[in-house]
Structure 1
Amino acid sequence: MKKNILLKIAILSVFFVQMGIGTITPAIASIGGAFPQIPFTTLLLVSTLSVIVSVPATVISGRIAGSVVKYKTLLIGGMILFIVGGIAPFFAQSNFGIILALRVVFGIGLGIVTPLGAAIIISFFEGEERAKVMGLSGVVANVGGILFQLLGGVAASVLWGYAFLVHGLGVITLVLVLFLPEPEKAPNRQSGEVAPKIPSIVYLYSISLLLLMALNYPILVNMSSVIQAYGMGDAASSAVVLTMFTVGGMLAGVVFAKLFGFFKQSVISVGLILMAASMAFMTFGTTLAFMFIAATLAGIGFSMILPTMMMSIGMKVNPTLVPIASGMIMGAMNVGGFLSAYMFAGLASLFGQVENIKFPFAFSMVCFSIIAVIVLIKQLQISAKEVIQQ
């Protein structure tokens, strides 16, 4: 099949909306002002509820994509739910319960779309071209994230309800996926052939991403609260800072193919080191400049880790199981995002840091540093074995 420009644009458009969940994060503090009687952990459900309901949708979408339901059909259905569920809360600003119900609809749509992009890339491309398109997918995802977050923050600075209207950008993806051809089905197994199984590395990556996302999520949902608490700015300032997370991810995506070609799996340890550094800037920084640096480093680090894992999945997983593996990994990542607030609430209570708004960043800094050292040592051991075998 000819891999033309239109095909790549249609595929990459799927990634445009994957960071649409961040549209509301710059407005969380403003939404809290509109509902002062609601506890902060409950208020965060405006963001995290969409994340958690997307998990079963992601797993189911990955299991039925290309086998039970066509990729294109799933994408169209998912995008309709994304757009409707995303925009509709604007018309229900006085009822927090209805807003949460509509965020469920939005989350289901996002969950349906989330695992399909990487699976389609793996279906259409191979080798270096696959790495290039996978890297570009990170660029497009982060460009989308910049637009969603920046416009969401600017809109929220006028009226917090306007932030929901920004989800209308999803129409761009809905139109472009109409031009997406259906990937060819993987060949059926021959009689007596053993069914392929999900390799253990998929479970390892799923657990790892759950933990990494839980540790990283405070920089996405707590940023606006930190900026306002320290008098650094308002919702619009938070939106600009949060866009630096996506700018960092975009920069990583541009050079990902070269990084992966040179470092291979070691890209993961580099990404972890950068994420530890980002949390250090969040922990000790008291100015907007520190927040800019922290968000940028976090974006670069995370956008080095996730594509590397997806490339590994493409190389080690049977083609028939790629959508399922992709769904498992993205689902686990979203579970981590949902559990993050509750995990840190429990840890803050345990360590007597309930009033310390920066405690999650300090804890994440320590964890990322420890994980980076462990992963780096493991990768050095693997490299040493390969040299000895040669």
Structure 2
Amino acid sequence: MKKKQLSMAVGILSMNLLLMLATLASSAIAAIAKSFPQEPVSKVQLIGSIPQLGQIIATALFTYLTFKMTRKNLGLLAVSFVAIAGIMPAITNNSLNIILACMVLVGFGTGTITNVVPVLLQENFEGEERATVMGWASGVTNVGMMIFTALGGFLGGSNWRNLFWVYGLAFIVFLLAFFLIPQDKKLKDIGTKKEKTNYWTLFKGLNPYVYVLYIINFILSFALMAFTSNQSIVLATQGKGTAYVAGVTALGNVGGILTAAFLTYVRKFTKSNTIAWGFIAFALSFSCIAFSSNIVLHVIGNAFNGVGIVLINATAPYEMSILTDEKQFTLAVSINTLLGSLAGMVVPMILAALQIAPGYSSFIAGIIITVIAAALLLVTRFGTKVEAEQNRKTSEVVK
């Protein structure tokens, strides 16, 4: 990768450092509740979940905004929302309603970043380099989570209000994005002036394989929800406490970071079946936790979870970028993000409707569905078919 492209990648991916900031304040809910004794605890708990409202709004508006603004400017606007709204509770913190409103705006910023980063990567990178930087995106998110969680805990240890100063680091990200990302065009200015484009036209023109990627995203959301919401329950039956769960989770995070860092070499092994191998990694993560009481295997299980996230989260957007043009990709990514958010909400309901109990039973369900997903992807040779579509489009361009 050339020096110019590397600096561009730094500018774009720096925004991903901020993605986990939407839920950072949830670690201080107990302390905040003590400062607002007149407010119900359930309202204080919204601090951790209400950013999702902002994320859904951002996703719903994303395609529209890309026709009105350049993708670079939209990214800068998103980072500004995170920085300004995030730091406000450190300054104005006498009203829980204001804090909640700020968290909605932070969610709007992170939701926009979730959508704009893959679009910028599609626009500025091609081929295997695009797949590589999309893998780095997942790793950078994990790095951001580790850094900001540790820093937030340090600052907020004496007073929860100080935790919100962490959001000020978003101003540094703003500068990196401003100077390192090249300016682009609004989507409405791309193509011929005679060409009329609307959302329905873009949606109807999507390649059928894009819908398969939507299903893959739903299964990924299922696996993530089943793992993260049930691991502590499974380990509690083995006599493991909260500190133990936090410890093996933190150590396991390294698996995702290393996979993202060396994704180019990993893909040489997984080739066109990278998503299938991602689901195999998920199945192994569930198995290591459910069928062992060994701390080493528990760390490895969490590492496999990170590996699965990176392999799928890096490859699915890359394949989606192959199957769509510039205008279609913005719509495809926003729909994918929206479906992922909704999936996270309905998965617990689906498990309850199927009478699958929390804990061990949910882990077994996770193993079954991820193994089936991997098997179907391998048998149908889905990745190979996507590559064939890429070769077809390349040959058409050459002609």
CA distance in structure 2 between the partners assigned to 1:28 and 1:272 by the alignment = 34
Range that drifts further, 139-148 or 253-262: 253-262
Give the alignment's TM-score, normalised by structure 2. 0.77
1:207 and 2:215 matched: yes
1:14 and 2:15 matched: yes
CA distance in structure 2 between the partners assigned to 1:31 and 1:292 by the alignment = 32
Which of 263, 279, 285 matches 1:256? 263
CA distance in structure 2 between the partners assigned to 1:264 and 1:131 by the alignment = 12
CA distance in structure 2 between the partners assigned to 1:222 and 1:94 by the alignment = 35
CA distance in structure 2 between the partners assigned to 1:191 and 1:270 by the alignment = 44
The corresponding residue for 1:321 is: 328
CA distance in structure 2 between the partners assigned to 1:174 and 1:77 by the alignment = 9
The 5 A counterparts of 1:271-290 are 271-286=278-293, 289-290=296-297
CA distance in structure 2 between the partners assigned to 1:32 and 1:58 by the alignment = 30
The corresponding residue for 1:130 is: 130
The corresponding residue for 1:188 is: 191
The 5 A counterparts of 1:171-186 are 171-179=171-179, 180-184=181-185
Q: Is the 8 A contact 1:51 1:338 kept in 2?
A: no
Query: How far does residue 115 in structure 1 lie from its aligned partner after superposition?
Result: 1.0
The 5 A counterparts of 1:102-181 are 102-152=102-152, 163-179=163-179, 180-181=181-182
CA distance in structure 2 between the partners assigned to 1:333 and 1:376 by the alignment = 23
Q: Is the 8 A contact 1:227 1:238 kept in 2?
A: yes
Describe the shift of the 1:3–1:166 C-alpha distance in structure 2 as closer, same or farther (beyond 3 A): same
Identity %: 23
Range that drifts further, 82-91 or 326-335: 82-91
Range that drifts further, 324-333 or 270-279: 324-333
Query: How far does residue 219 in structure 1 lie from its aligned partner after superposition?
Result: 3.8
Describe the shift of the 1:158–1:347 C-alpha distance in structure 2 as closer, same or farther (beyond 3 A): farther
Q: Is the 8 A contact 1:62 1:115 kept in 2?
A: no
Query: How far does residue 74 in structure 1 lie from its aligned partner after superposition?
Result: 1.5
Aligned length: 374
Query: How far does residue 289 in structure 1 lie from its aligned partner after superposition?
Result: 4.4
SS in 2 for 1:17: helix
CA distance in structure 2 between the partners assigned to 1:27 and 1:342 by the alignment = 28
CA distance in structure 2 between the partners assigned to 1:369 and 1:28 by the alignment = 37
Q: Is the 8 A contact 1:124 1:183 kept in 2?
A: no
Residue identity matched to 2:223: L
Range that drifts further, 86-95 or 195-204: 86-95
Q: Is the 8 A contact 2:285 2:301 kept in 1?
A: yes
CA distance in structure 2 between the partners assigned to 1:51 and 1:140 by the alignment = 21
The corresponding residue for 2:338 is: 331
Residue identity matched to 2:138: G
Range that drifts further, 363-372 or 26-35: 26-35
Gaps of 5+ in 1: none
Range that drifts further, 156-165 or 360-369: 156-165
Query: How far does residue 317 in structure 1 lie from its aligned partner after superposition?
Result: 0.4
CA distance in structure 2 between the partners assigned to 1:161 and 1:60 by the alignment = 31
CA distance in structure 1 between the partners assigned to 2:32 and 2:376 by the alignment = 40
CA distance in structure 1 between the partners assigned to 2:246 and 2:176 by the alignment = 27
Describe the shift of the 1:246–1:86 C-alpha distance in structure 2 as closer, same or farther (beyond 3 A): farther
Give RMSD over aligned pairs: 3.9
Residue identity matched to 1:13: S
Range that drifts further, 368-377 or 356-365: 356-365
CA distance in structure 2 between the partners assigned to 1:245 and 1:381 by the alignment = 28
Q: Please give the per-residue CA displacement for 1:114-168, whole angstroms capped at 9, x wherever unaligned.
A: 1111111111111232233223323322221221334445666666665554333
Query: How far does residue 314 in structure 1 lie from its aligned partner after superposition?
Result: 1.8
Query: How far does residue 365 in structure 1 lie from its aligned partner after superposition?
Result: 2.8
Q: Please give the per-residue CA displacement for 1:255-312, whole angstroms capped at 9, x wherever unaligned.
A: 2223335534311111101111212233345565454222211111110011111111
Q: Is the 8 A contact 1:198 1:317 kept in 2?
A: yes
SS in 2 for 1:182: coil
CA distance in structure 2 between the partners assigned to 1:298 and 1:285 by the alignment = 16
CA distance in structure 1 between the partners assigned to 2:348 and 2:158 by the alignment = 27
Query: How far does residue 239 in structure 1 lie from its aligned partner after superposition?
Result: 5.0
Gaps of 5+ in 2: 389-399
The corresponding residue for 2:397 is: none
The corresponding residue for 2:72 is: 72
Q: Please give the per-residue CA displacement for 1:149-195, whole angstroms capped at 9, x wherever unaligned.
A: 34445666666665554333323322211112213567424747996
Range that drifts further, 106-115 or 197-206: 197-206
The corresponding residue for 1:373 is: 375
CA distance in structure 2 between the partners assigned to 1:57 and 1:265 by the alignment = 32
Range that drifts further, 163-172 or 261-270: 163-172
Q: Is the 8 A contact 1:28 1:224 kept in 2?
A: no
Describe the shift of the 1:368–1:167 C-alpha distance in structure 2 as closer, same or farther (beyond 3 A): farther
The corresponding residue for 1:216 is: 224
CA distance in structure 2 between the partners assigned to 1:284 and 1:95 by the alignment = 47
SS in 2 for 1:149: helix
Q: Is the 8 A contact 2:62 2:334 kept in 1?
A: yes
Query: Which one has more relative contact order, counting CA pairs under 8 Å at least 6 apart?
Result: 1
Residue identity matched to 1:136: W
Describe the shift of the 1:222–1:269 C-alpha distance in structure 2 as closer, same or farther (beyond 3 A): same
Query: How far does residue 60 in structure 1 lie from its aligned partner after superposition?
Result: 1.8
Describe the shift of the 1:85–1:214 C-alpha distance in structure 2 as closer, same or farther (beyond 3 A): farther
Residue identity matched to 1:53: G
Q: Is the 8 A contact 2:12 2:177 kept in 1?
A: yes
Residue identity matched to 1:110: T
Describe the shift of the 1:374–1:139 C-alpha distance in structure 2 as closer, same or farther (beyond 3 A): same
The corresponding residue for 2:365 is: 363
The corresponding residue for 1:294 is: 301
Describe the shift of the 1:161–1:266 C-alpha distance in structure 2 as closer, same or farther (beyond 3 A): farther
Q: Is the 8 A contact 1:278 1:293 kept in 2?
A: yes
Q: Is the 8 A contact 1:58 1:112 kept in 2?
A: yes
